[in-house]
Amino acid sequence: MSSSSTSLSSRTTSSGKRTRPSDVSLRYLLPSIHSAPPFFTQQPNPNTQATVSENWTKLILSYARHRRLFTLRVEDAEVPGGEWDEILRNTRINRRLLPSHLSHILADMVAKNRAVYEPAKQTRAALLLWRSPEEWAEVLHSWADSTGQLNTILTFPDIIEPPVPSPLSDIPMTLLRKAISVLAKTNRAQIISVADGEGVRFLAGNTSR
C-alpha cells in the first residue's frame, strides 16, 4: 500500500525503521513536513495557512484511516497522552499543535466536507470522514454481499461489532446511518423496525455493479 517513493526525512512512528509495505499495519509513516517547525504554527499569510491546513487535513485523515480513528477533539491537542499524540506532537523538534490551530483546521475540514461536527452545534469534536458516506455505503454493501448477508435483517450492533472483524468494525453509529440512508435511496437497503430497535436489510439492488 505505501509508496516507496518517500523522502529520506520521512520517518516511521517507532524505532526509526523504514516502513516496508509488509509491516504497514503497525507503523505510520509521518510526512517530512511534520518535522518542520512552521508546520505547527498558524501562519498569518492566508495562502501559506491554506497549504498548512491542507497538509494537516491529509495527515489527520491518513492517520485516522491507519489507526481506524473516527473522532478528533480539540482537547486531544490540549492534554498529552491521547491516541493522537503521535501526530499532534513532535517531541524531536519540540513542537505541538496548538488547540486554537487544531480548531481552525477542524473548521477547515468541516467546510470541505472532510469532517462533520459530532455532536452537531459545537466545534470541539468532529467525526472524521476519511471515507465519505457514499464510500462507506459501498463498503457496507460489498461487506454484506461478500458475507452472504443480503436479504437478511441485521441489527446495528451486528454490523458495528461483527463476530469476525470487518472494515466496518467500530464504525460510529452516525456514520453507519448515513451510509445506510445512502443505500436506501438507491433501493439497496431497507430500514426495518425490529423488536429491540432498528434493523436493516440489504438488497442486491438494480444499480449495483
Is 84 or 202 the residue whose CB approaches other proteins more closely?
84
Stretch that binds other proteins, among 52-60, 136-144, 146-154, 172-180 (CB under 8 A): 52-60
What phi-psi label fits residue 178: left (phi over 0), alpha (psi between -120 and 50 degrees) or beta?
alpha
Calpha distance 32→57 (Å, rounded):
15
Is 15 or 206 the residue whose CB approaches other proteins more closely?
15
> Cβ neighbours of residue 191 under 8 Å, at least 6 residues apart?
180, 184, 198, 199, 200
CA atoms within 13 A on the CB side of 93: 18
Q: Is 22 in the site for other proteins (CB under 8 A)?
A: no
Q: Is 38 in the site for other proteins (CB under 8 A)?
A: yes
- Which of 20, 23, 32, 123 binds other proteins (CB under 8 A)? It is 32
| ∠ Cα 7 30 48 (to 5°) | 85
Q: Is 129 in the site for other proteins (CB under 8 A)?
A: no
Sign of the torsion angle spanned by Cα atoms 46, 48, 53, 54: positive
Q: Is 136 in the site for other proteins (CB under 8 A)?
A: no
> Taking the complex as a whole, how short is the minimal distance between the CB of residue 22 and other proteins, in angstroms?
14
Is 134 or 161 the residue whose CB approaches other proteins more closely?
134
Q: Is 30 in the site for other proteins (CB under 8 A)?
A: yes
Is 7 or 206 the residue whose CB approaches other proteins more closely?
7
Q: Is 2 in the site for other proteins (CB under 8 A)?
A: yes
Contact predicate 91/104, CB 8 Å: no
